[in-house]
Amino acid sequence: MTESDVQANAVAPAASPKQNEDKPCALCKLLGGCGKGEERSNVPVPAWLTWLCAGALLLMLNQIKLPVAGGKLALADLAFLAGFVPVFLFCLMKKRGLFYPVFGVVVLFAMGVANLCAASGLSGAVEVAQLIQMLFCGTMMISFLVENAPRQAVWTVLAAIGLNVLVAWVQWGSVGFGAQLAPADVLAVKCGFGGGSYSGLFRSRMALGFFLACALAWVLPSVYGKKATMLRYVLGMLLTIVVLLSIAHGEMLFLATIAALGAGFLHSRRAGIATSLGVFIVILALAGVFRGSHTDGLLQTMSPLKQGEYAGELRTNHLDFFAAMRMAMRQPWHGIGSGRYQSCIGRCYSGPGYDELPNPSWNDIETDTQAGWGILTSTQGLPVAALFFVLLLSVAALGFRQYARSNGEETTALGGALLLLVVLAGMFVTDPLMRGTGWLLALGFGSAVLPGLREKLQCGWRLSPGLVLFAGVLMALPLAAGAVRKKVADPLAGAPVPVQTRTPGETETTSGEDVFLVVDASQAKNITKPVEKGTDSQAAKNAVLKIPDGKGVPPDDKEPAMQYGGAEFEVELKTAATVKIWLRVWWDGSCGNTLNIQVDDEERSATVGNDGTYRVWHWMEAPRVYKLEAGKHKICLLNREDGIMFDQMLITGDPQYVPQGIEEE
């Protein structure tokens, strides 16, 4: 044996204790991690590519819509393509992998399968495809940026915070702090800067607050840095003060405060003290300098209860959550399908076997204030919602583990973990799975799953370009099948409902299956402004009732009533019956997609609409089941939002009947 052979054998013992420490943990195995991992690629990344990714991320952290295609194209979409395509081509040519928590592929695939089973058609497939774009492709692009240029990523998020705060403060001076989204300004302001509202570069103060809460949680550990100095402590404290004072929604302010304190104390004791001092200054400012409309608006949105006429009643976004859980229980395995939430949520406020929830008859709900967990569970089913919850929690745990094992050096991993926890909690009051805020979720994933480079630890696979394409095809298969499958018109038809019990003394009514009354717009007995008569070639008799955009809505916190605009109809039933009421309507846009219906002298009218079908005639179901006595009944359609038209009303005793097109008796 030669001397070189002896030396070779001498360096070939079994794995050392240090190597054994790098074995993957159970959590890494669950998410597809490889524990020890592979070395960071030695292929140099050109500076122009990281700058391109940083610019794309900056343009993705907003909800600006482009004035083309009816506002359906967002600036974030173009920015994403400009960043992801070059990154993917670079990795393809250089045979370089991209990081992703592999369990996320399972979750996104499950979403596609659930949507296929729900038969929601092309529109549902498009919504799931947008989630794949954000949570799969977006995560890989952002992880590429964070891995190769972490400082650029931090400065990009700081720039996004600065731009939104600057625009919000300009809006503060023009419309007032905490101003709500004004009706009809979404279409009027094509670029989505909020118009007459306090919303920064987002659609609402809720969306702006959620962005600031997530961004603060992510960036604060990196601001304090690996080895914090006094200057960094001061900068972190000032950032905390500026961001918290810029949040106009109470629930988001509370969430951001908890996240900031967590970021500070998890980083170090001194950072925690600096953050606490910033929070204390904010509290003093709200109690002193900003006391008044600023503090009042925060307190009003902090409470889950309504104010004014219906004080003590749950606010609509919390009522929506309960209604969504009812809807989820009717289709627990696959939900009703993406894109159908607004058209179905109303009927789950009341119905056979339900205790009636207070209907949101006046517009006390802002854009983006419906609970994300309710939307996800009711549209995708309980299994998908549970998988998504596990994904958020487990990737956050990986981020904390990365930070702990790096001895406090991987601050972006800590920021990613905190961001994911903010998303998990925030989904009880808002829906982050949309443009602008959805990229924040990708930022959390892309930060928490990255390797601790100094320790050569990896949590999540580095997918080769080939595996990326394979995963994309795998997720696209159920989407393609769902897009071509015949769409089910009513996803709740035939779904089980609780058994209804009749209270003592309640009048017995027939099923009313023989009741089928069609009432046209021309049959209105009484009309009050701003409702007016009009014509439309696609209406039943070319005659419609309409409220043109900009003609006016009821005063704030006032129930819709005939004095604020409405149309009164009279119908007659030969026998007592339990009936459903459908309305054939045309909506101008997201701020003109509801009207209210009131039968006889019921105390509160019910809202019909809140769906996303615009500029086309379609049928919407009233959210209540009505028990009507034999004889004449008064039905009023009331102004809630302008920019709407009404054509026909259908009163039917058949609970399974879904009208299509123009109806005739």
96 confidence band (pLDDT: 50, 70, 90): confident
- For residue 159, give every residue at least 6 positions away whose Cβ sits within 8 Å of its Cβ, in sequence order, or none: 58
What is the average per-residue pLDDT within 375-387? 96
The Cα 443–Cα 148 span in angstroms is 14
Residue 654, pLDDT score: 86
- For residue 595, give every residue at least 6 positions away whose Cβ sits within 8 Å of its Cβ, in sequence order, or none: 560, 583, 585, 607, 608, 609, 637, 638, 639, 640, 641, 644, 646
The C-alpha angle 490, 494, 495, rounded to 5 degrees, equals 90
How many other C-beta atoms lie within 10 A of the C-beta of residue 271?
23
Give one word for 229, left, alpha or beta, with left for phi > 0 and alpha for psi -120 to 50.
beta
Does residue 207 have a pLDDT over 70?
A: yes
CATH class of 516-652: mainly beta
What is the average per-residue pLDDT within 219-241? 93
Residue 409, pLDDT score: 85
Least Cα distance to 56 among 22, 80, 38, 85 occurs for 80
Give the pLDDT confidence of 56-75 residue by residue, as tens digits: 999 999 988 877 766 677 88
Give the pLDDT confidence of 143-169 residue by residue, as tens digits: 999 989 999 999 999 999 999 999 999
Backbone angles phi, psi at 598, to 5 degrees: -135, 125
Across 37-46, 204-213, 247-256, 599-608, least confident range: 37-46
Residue 607, pLDDT score: 84
Residue 131, pLDDT score: 92
Does residue 89 have a pLDDT over 80?
A: yes
What is the average per-residue pLDDT within 115-131? 91
Q: Which two tokens stand for residue 584?
A: 């054939």
Give the pLDDT confidence of 583-615 residue by residue, as tens digits: 999 988 767 888 999 999 888 888 888 776 778
Give the pLDDT confidence of 475-490 residue by residue, as tens digits: 999 999 999 998 887 8
- For residue 550, give every residue at least 6 positions away whose Cβ sits within 8 Å of its Cβ, in sequence order, or none: 184, 642, 643
**Higher pLDDT residue, 340 or 58?**
58
What is the average per-residue pLDDT within 112-138? 92
Which residue is listed with tokens 């900003």? 290
Cα of 471 vs its chain's centroid, Å? 25
Measure the N-to-C terminal CA separation of the chain; round to a whole number of Å: 101
Please report, for the chain, the start and end positions of each structural domain, with discontinuous segments joined by +: 45-483, 516-652
Give the pLDDT confidence of 514-534 residue by residue, as tens digits: 789 999 999 999 999 999 999
The Cα 649–Cα 525 span in angstroms is 14
In sequence order, what DSSP letters do the residues of 93-110 get, joined into one string? HHT--EEE-THHHHHHHH
